Each structure stands twice: as C-alpha cells, then as structure tokens.
Amino acid sequence: MMLEEKLARLRAHRNNIHRYRRLLKPRISDLEREYIERRLTEERAALESVASTTYPITFKMPPPVQQLVAHLEADHATATHERSSA
C-alpha cells in the first residue's frame, strides 16, 4: 500500500473517531451507546494498526517529572556522599 493510501486511511479513521465521539455527547439509549463505544474502539484499533505500519518508528516517552526529580536528587546525594568520603 502506498503512503498516500495509508494517509487517506488514517484521515478516515480519525474522522470516524471524531464522529463517534460527537455521537456520544447527546442523550442516547444504552444500546446506542454500547454500539458507538464498540465502533469507537474498533476505529481506534484500526487507526493504530495503520499508523504502526505507516510510521514504524517509535519514540520512548520521557518519564514523569517526579521520577526525574527523584533521579536528580539521588544523583546529587551520591555525588555529595562521594565528595565527603574523599
């Protein structure tokens, strides 16, 4: 499949996801809500599938700020301890 076709599929899935989200906003029956939520899940899975073959490169998400702060504090404590030991 060519890149243009994949991008068109990505747009179609994205548009479907937006449409299903809009349909969830008004008051609807439980049966309608279940159907729309199921379709939304299917569209998201399809979008992820096409996206993973279109953009195979993945990036690691940075850790939360709390983990970074704890890591920096641990490094600082280690460095301080090493200096006082020397």
pTM (2 decimals)?
0.61
What is the Cα–Cα distance from 9 to 47, expressed in whole angstroms?
8
Is the distance from CB of 13 to CB of 39 less than 8 angstroms?
no
Distance, CA of 12 to CA of 47 (rounded, Å): 9
Q: What is the pLDDT of residue 86?
A: 61
How far apart CA 61 and CA 51 sit, in angstroms, is 17
Domain ranges of the chain: 3-85
Amino acid at 84: S
For the segment 50-74, what is each residue's pLDDT rounded down to a tens digit? Answer: 988 887 666 666 667 777 677 778 8
